[in-house]
Amino acid sequence: MDNLTNCNEFYSLSLLPVGRLYQKNQNRFNLLDDHVHSGVNFFSTAQEIVQDWQSMGEEIMEFEKSKQEFGAECESFNSNKKGLMWRVANAEEKLAHEKHLNADLQNDWTAACERSNRELKAVCDETIRVNAERAKESKEFDRLSAMYKEKESEVLDAQKSNEEVRARVAELGKTVKE
């Protein structure tokens, strides 16, 4: 990458359209800073999602274990006491329980995804806001710097004209004395 256009094209797939439009006017170092911050936020969010997946996996393993134990107990009871009718009723009950559990897990997963999406959106919006403030402050600094240089040159010009006037007065003083 040897210019800003190539840099923008390279990062365009990892940014929201709003971010791409904003970054077209940014310099390469600001783009790299933004990319690093976004990467850090992405990896921390990914780590949270992986931790959620792991905890859900543990819950599923516990459920599977208890389901197997319950199944073993039911089989021994069914073979000894009830028979086919009780097994059908038990299977329907298990199915309803599984459907309920799967619906709960799906709701938990959806909530986790929505939460992570909100967090990523908030981080992206904050990054764009901070960069806009930085650009605004940079423009203000440039304006004040130019104003300072202008005033400084006016002061130097005034000092030069003051010295010229003093030299002229001294010259006239010599002329008057003669």
pLDDT computed for residue 121 by the predictor: 93
pLDDT computed for residue 1 by the predictor: 47
Kindly compute the dihedral angle of the four CA atoms of residues 137, 140, 141, 146, in this order, to the nearest 10 degrees: 160
| Helix segments in 25-83, DSSP class H | 28-80
The number of domains in the chain is 1
Q: Are 38 and 22 in contact (CB under 8 A)?
A: no
Angle at 67 between CA 48 and CA 105, to 5 degrees: 30
Q: Are 45 and 117 in contact (CB under 8 A)?
A: no
Range of the domain at 161: 4-177
Mean pLDDT by 10 residues, the chain (178 residues): 67 68 74 79 87 86 90 78 72 91 92 92 93 92 91 88 85 79
Instruction: Return the exposure string of 130-163: e unless at least 16 CB atoms fall within 10 Å of the residue's CB, then b.
Output: ebeeeeeeeeeeeeeeeeeeeeeeeeeeeeeeee
Q: Are 114 and 13 in contact (CB under 8 A)?
A: no
The pTM is what?
A: 0.32
